[in-house]
Structure 1
């Protein structure tokens, strides 16, 4: 029995040593690749200093109405993620992509992620970049909460909202967020385990959008630096409180156009997800829903249809 126990113990120790060696090899490989990729990790927009940290804002086009694109939770590169859509709009409008802290080229920070703090960061960044409203907001997913709060608190700054399968307060009431699994993903990213599964870096922007080969390469470079960052995780931890805060305030009287997916990758089935969106749109005096038969990153898949409908929507806003 002792001999058997000794054999098992030696075997387990050997396995642990092998695992530790593999982890070290994976991590070293990751660090070497990060060093090589430093030459590509160069902001393609403007960096502004918000409360001592660098935030990245990308702009394109010279139109009178700024369209502010706001990323979904965990989107590694908002600037590239929205590109397929905003390139169809930049000949008529001023495109503005806000990369919140922890996203894209912006700093990873340890600051409060309540909706008021996030909005204050965004508004200050726009002010520093001399981008004046009123704005048309294009929020995707989790940023829907920030967009709604923005319209509630500063309605004169918002001409309208174009929701890109945006999250609304009701979406988080019974939603279970697996924080431990998210944190495991963060550890895997920091160790470089994500490099072992190339498909993880194949975002919908890469698979379905109009990115060039160089832009796809840049997206992957950013992915290995901005996946499940600590700032992103803090935002997810706080999202239910943020949604609850927004739900307690009445919706402002502004035009809203919501593009709604089939629920895939939202955590909800199609019927429940669409019912949640319909409950929200009913709270607006001037609201419209467009249903799309595609997954959550609608702007990477149905960008042509979204662009056409958005242009019509904005023209209506201008004439009213």
Structure 2
């Protein structure tokens, strides 16, 4: 064998060794990833089954479209407030608890958990505004609740503006808690639904939530309520019903674009003072009340979930506002 052939043989052997090492490394990485995902998936299944048994019932079930919608009623006041959650609030009746405790001293408070939320069933019906509003209204009809203030957080501003125009003889006022505005920018976004579904079903979403910051750490909720909210969040986050609602967000905003609140409807809007995400957040809300006979915008320092920290102030201002409106 010539020197040149020896060099070629040696180089070929080295290349083969390097290739084998590379293939083994890639194989080890793939096996590690598969094992990791398998462990995460298994932990999620076991944890979900365990948590399902530990979730405690609250409120009552109302039959809507042959499904159960959960509704919590607290307080015995002569006037009624119906609470609607923002998108993705996994356990609305518990999330609103601090505010409900304040409002229920003076009002009958009805916290509705739409399909896919809290302890309500899921549904295969499209999550259009029309369907969501109709289902909430049917639940109230089943409970013989026919006259009430409508109070909603976040995207409930979109459903609420449709609701008050559809049922003007029932709603006595609308109160928004950092509520969405039909004309706000950036709502034509397309969400990665398949990726979100994968995160849910794979268990990665549970892991990410576990490793993330505790959203309740500095709030006034008791430990038991926090534990229940976390378990219900693990159950409901990115479920089929809320993913369908997410898919309809853009079309629901477009549908509401030209809607306005009735001029004679008392309109109170609590608005986050330092929203750095949506341009012109406060002016957008001021535009909603400009033609109202009795409208008011109150800005508050805090997160989008103003009712987590400003529950006392919200309750006090609602009472004062409604006295003025009479």
Task: Give the deviation of 1:212 after TM superposition.
Answer: 1.4
Structural mapping, 1:114-133, within 5 Å: 114-130=128-144, 132-133=145-146
Q: Which moved further from structure 2: 280-289 or 190-199?
A: 190-199
1:169 aligns with 2:182: yes
1:134 aligns with 2:144: no
Q: Which residue of 2 aligns with 1:179?
A: 191
Q: 1:118 to 1:53 in 2, by over 3 A?
A: same
**When the two structures are aligned, how many residues end up with a matched partner?**
310
Aligned 8 A contact 1:262 1:296 in 2 = no
Task: Give the deviation of 1:135 after TM superposition.
Answer: 1.3
Task: Give the deviation of 1:201 after TM superposition.
Answer: 7.6
Aligned 8 A contact 1:208 1:300 in 2 = no
Q: Match for 2:239 among 229, 235, 242?
A: 229
Q: Which residue of 1 aligns with 2:225?
A: 215
Structure 1 unaligned blocks of 5 or more = none
TM-score by length of 2: 0.88
Q: Which residue of 2 aligns with 1:245?
A: 255
Q: Match for 1:289 among 271, 275, 297?
A: 297
Partner secondary structure for residue 170 of structure 1: coil
Q: Which residue of 2 aligns with 1:12?
A: 26
Distance in 1 between residues matched to 2:92 and 2:212, nearest whole Å: 16
Q: Which residue of 1 aligns with 2:214?
A: 202
Q: 1:281 to 1:231 in 2, by over 3 A?
A: same
Structural mapping, 1:1-320, within 5 Å: 1-130=15-144, 132-171=145-184, 173-175=185-187, 177=189, 179-180=191-192, 183-197=194-208, 198=210, 200=212, 202-203=214-215, 206-253=216-263, 254-264=265-275, 267-269=277-279, 272-317=280-325, 320=326
Q: 1:184 to 1:129 in 2, by over 3 A?
A: same
Q: 1:183 to 1:75 in 2, by over 3 A?
A: farther
Distance in 1 between residues matched to 2:317 and 2:272, nearest whole Å: 15
Distance in 2 between residues matched to 1:142 and 1:229, nearest whole Å: 18
User: Cα deviation per residue 1:281-306 (whole Å; 9 max; x = unaligned)?
Assistant: 22433210001111100010111111
Distance in 1 between residues matched to 2:213 and 2:149, nearest whole Å: 30
Q: Which moved further from structure 2: 275-284 or 119-128?
A: 275-284
Structure 2 unaligned blocks of 5 or more = 1-14
Aligned 8 A contact 1:152 1:252 in 2 = yes
